[in-house]
Chains A and B, each alone.
Chain A
Amino acid sequence: MIAEFGHFALIITLCLSVLLSVVPLWGAWRGNVVAMSLAPSLAIGLLVFAGISFACLATVFLQDDFSVAVVAANSNSLLPSIYKFSAVWGNHEGSLLLWILILCVWMAAVALFSSQLPLLMLSRVLAVMGVVAVGFISFSLFTSNPFARLLPGTPADGQDLNPLLQDPGLIIHPPLLYMGYVGFSVAFAFAIAALLGGRLDASWARWSRPWTNVAWAFLTLGIMLGSWWAYYELGWGGWWFWDPVENASFMPWLAGTALVHSLAATEKRGLFKSWTVLLAIFAFSLSLLGTFLVRSGVLTSVHAFATDPARGLFILVFLAFVVGGSLTLYALRAPAVSSRVSFAWLSRESLLLFNNVVFLVSTLTVLFGTLFPLIMDALGQGKYSVGPPYFNAVFVPLMAVLIPFMGIGPVSRWKGDSAARWRAELMLPAIAAIICGVTVPLLHGGEYNVWVALAVVLAAWLLFGLARDVWYRIRGASSLARGWRRLTPSYCGMVIAHLGFAAAVVGVVATSQYNIEHDLKMQPGDTEVIAGYSFTFTEVAQVRGPNFVADEARFDVYENGRLLTRLAPQKRRYLASGQVMTEAAIDDGLWRDLFVAMGEPIGNEGAWAIRLHYKPMVRWMWLGAIMMALGGFATVADKRYRQRKAVRTPAEEGVSGAAA
């Protein structure tokens, strides 16, 4: 009954979204205020019914209703309740419903927080998002109905959730990731609305920016959580594989980063409007492309959902319509002539453009590498694989090229600046960075690592450059408190985000270069030493979990003779599916992680294959990502976005006559 109720709610959601795509757009075209003002109400209504539908699906999961097909395929009566809930999105159909719900959340947010947006603009923005919603809800209802029943022949129990997904990571990673993916639809909708309205000005950029920054921040968190989850869950300490599905989330992030920076120039100086609109379309198109890649079976991936070319075709047609349509609109309506505003070769505008160049090239490189096997196959040239060795080789140099300019950016002036001024401001940070970079690897001991030195130089360059700039801004004030208040949330956000990037760079390079991995056979009583840490294998015990049994290997870890901690990795066998899984034990720390995992038992004397990892500074990567996200969120608090409903000119109201 509940499943049917949820199904019905989803159908209503489809009807509402059809209304939302059509009526306000017509209203905007005709200048009909009533039609236009329907948009916010429809958006809220969409959220209500999507919420009901989602709640119904969650309920059937929690109630163990195995007559519903997705519950039978992905859940089990022994599954802990929290995982019964997250199993809702641990499958194709349910995750699609989550996508739809989150789209409705964003639509409602736009409807609620846009008091300073002219109704003409708001109605168009919501209508465009409505079109996207129609596509996804249709996809769900017509090809991937989560409420489909398994009647007759209801199984007594479910096939259980894949053990890899029975983890807190599944609870937060997809929702946050989708908040980011879907969030770019807002920037996209603003871009389309601006093209439709024929008014591409700086105020469009000002409205878009907070939404874009928040979506970008969520996507940063989502990707970071995916990486962290893979690290501790998969059992071999890897954190990024350049897998097609991972790339599908990384490409919108790269394009989104370019967009975030381009919007800054458009807002402040009214420049690059056409280019920024194109970037907004590009970022969301990559989100949609990601959806296609993950669910169509076109590329092989461990992360892919149940693949079905028929579903793939539906998404492709939708993709063609949305992206093709928006690019056509862009070609027809974007200003062909660039603004007359000019700037010098050395200026903040140029640096932002360089940022765009690097991130655009990165995005295209990742896209090309991901699609290369498909291209070669389609051309009949054979089967190829493109993996981490390729992506690391091409991506790292691009980032390395970016960072020197990234240090100059925050310090640079709009419109025109001089090399002499840059030299004066940044000489000290540059010297400090070089000293830092050259000496820090010595602290680690062992062989001197040039790559780490380079990474530290670059990261320190960012750090010292920003520190100097912050100091410079504060010092003029009468007191420290006054000084801090001079820093706008927007500026603070930028500082935190850039520092986060620096931290992530250091983390990635340090962990790649300094990590030590020992795979060996160990018996209870054996000890192995890595990087000054002594791991003693004490015993193996049998333990029982809520839905699994496990062999647990217990380790005592000593540092300098003192007992540091006890680690207990497990080899689990899940009762419902029979699947065997390794659960690694990690002692995490800011400066290093100690990682122990079990392989197979060897022989009959209780020996096991054991993996011991020493991973220095691996957390810096994720902490850096969290800082980047925090920076993104912080920018939204800026005063200029919180202006009360301003006095509007009649022109802005767009009430009178043709406003196309």
Chain B
Amino acid sequence: MKIAGFSQALLFVGCLLMAAVASAVIETYEFSSPELQQRYQLLSAELRCPKCQNQNIADSNAPIAQDLRKLLYEQLEAGASNDEILDYMVSRYGEFVRYRPAFDSSTAVLWLAPVLLFIAALVVLFLSLRQRKESGSAGQVELSGEEQQQLQQMLSRSEQDR
């Protein structure tokens, strides 16, 4: 939910041509092949608008987002691969501009975390269940010598009470 604070921040960081904060952004590019259009849709959803509050360039109508969309279109038509386009953007705007973090030494932990967590959880589960079985299957509870004595005392007392 946006409030006045947002527009003030915007004014400080930069200026916009229009105050249009929430218009649908519809680009009418003509692509030379449907495959390029699909790649455009994919990449424009993956690239982050550098100045917006968490929007991809497909959804934002900030001027920089428009520029980046145009750039994306031109590069796709020029035959660049997805990786080349992403590298181009990252070298200018930093890793910040990718919604799908690259898989490298810094982000490996992010990508591997779900799988590792899942395996770890299963292992913990397995171990604790096995432990439960072992203590359960030990059968009767073993009483220490002192506890045996206490038990005898209690039993004899209750017999007396009867």
Contacts and interface: CB of A to CB of B under 8 A. Distances in A.
A binds B: yes
Given A361-B117, A369-B110, A580-B23, A340 B2 contact: no
Interface string B10-25: 0000000011111111
A342 B24 contact: no
Contact of B3 (A91, A385, A581, A611): A91
Contacts of B121: 357, 360-361
A345 to B, nearest CB: 7
A609 B26 CA distance: 6
A389 B46 contact: yes
A418 interface: no
A508 to B, nearest CB: 16
A398 interface: yes
Contact of B26 (A241, A360, A386, A597): A597
Nearest to A337: B135
Given A302-B2, A306-B5, A599-B25, A368 B113 contact: yes
A369 B113 CA distance: 9
Given A74-B3, A384-B101, A598-B24, A304 B110 contact: no
B122 A340 contact: no
A116 interface: no
B27 interface: yes
A342 B48 contact: no
A305 B68 CA distance: 28
Given A73-B4, A350-B129, A611-B26, A398 B135 contact: no
A389 B107 CA distance: 14
B160 interface: no
B53 A385 contact: no
Given A361-B114, A386-B101, A599-B25, A164 B19 contact: no
A323 B134 CA distance: 34
A7 interface: no
Place the interface of chain B in its size category: 35 or more
Given A342-B136, A368-B113, A162 B26 contact: no
B100 interface: yes
Given A162-B1, A305-B1, A340-B136, A385 B97 contact: yes
A302 B54 contact: yes
A445 interface: no
A584 interface: yes
Given A163-B22, A609-B28, A387 B114 contact: no
Contacts of A360: 121
Nearest to B134: A342
A600 interface: yes
A387 B48 contact: yes
Contacts of A163: 22
A394 B48 CA distance: 20
Nearest to A340: B136
Interface in A338-362: 338, 340-342, 345, 350, 353-354, 357-358, 360-361
B75 interface: no
Interface string B107-150: 10011011001100110010011001101110000000000000
A611 B26 CA distance: 6
A301 B142 CA distance: 59
B94 A383 contact: yes
A114 interface: no
Contacts of B20: 579-580
A599 B23 contact: yes
B20 to A, nearest CB: 4
Interface in A234-253: 234-236, 238, 241, 243-244
A398 B114 contact: yes
A303 B55 CA distance: 11
B135 to A, nearest CB: 7
Given A383-B96, A389-B46, A300 B54 contact: yes
A210 interface: no
B45 interface: yes
Contacts of A407: none
A178 to B, nearest CB: 13
A165 B24 contact: no
Contacts of B136: 340-342
A566 interface: no
Contacts of B96: 382-385
A387 B100 contact: yes
A239 to B, nearest CB: 13
A372 interface: yes
A273 to B, nearest CB: 13
A336 to B, nearest CB: 13
Contacts of B55: 302
Contacts of A234: 22, 24, 59
B1 A388 contact: no
Given A582-B23, A611-B26, A307 B5 contact: yes
Interface in A383-440: 383-390, 393-394, 398
B93 to A, nearest CB: 10
A301 B9 CA distance: 13
Interface in B58-110: 58-59, 94-101, 106-107, 110
Contacts of A597: 24, 26
A193 to B, nearest CB: 26
Contacts of B54: 241, 243-244, 300-302
A236 B24 contact: yes
Nearest to A341: B136
A393 B100 CA distance: 10
B150 to A, nearest CB: 20
Nearest to B41: A517
B28 A579 contact: no
B24 A584 contact: yes
Given A342-B133, A390-B100, A581 B22 contact: yes
A4 interface: no
A386 B94 CA distance: 13
16 contacts: A73-B4, A162-B2, A305-B1, A306-B5, A342-B137, A360-B121, A368-B110, A382-B95, A382-B106, A385-B99, A389-B45, A398-B118, A578-B19, A579-B19, A599-B24, A599-B28
Given A243-B54, A364-B113, A582-B24, 11 more contacts: A92-B3, A307-B5, A365-B113, A382-B95, A384-B96, A385-B98, A389-B100, A520-B28, A579-B19, A580-B18, A611-B26
Closest 9 pairs (CB-CB, A-B): A387-B99, A599-B26, A389-B100, A235-B24, A342-B136, A609-B26, A582-B24, A306-B5, A383-B96
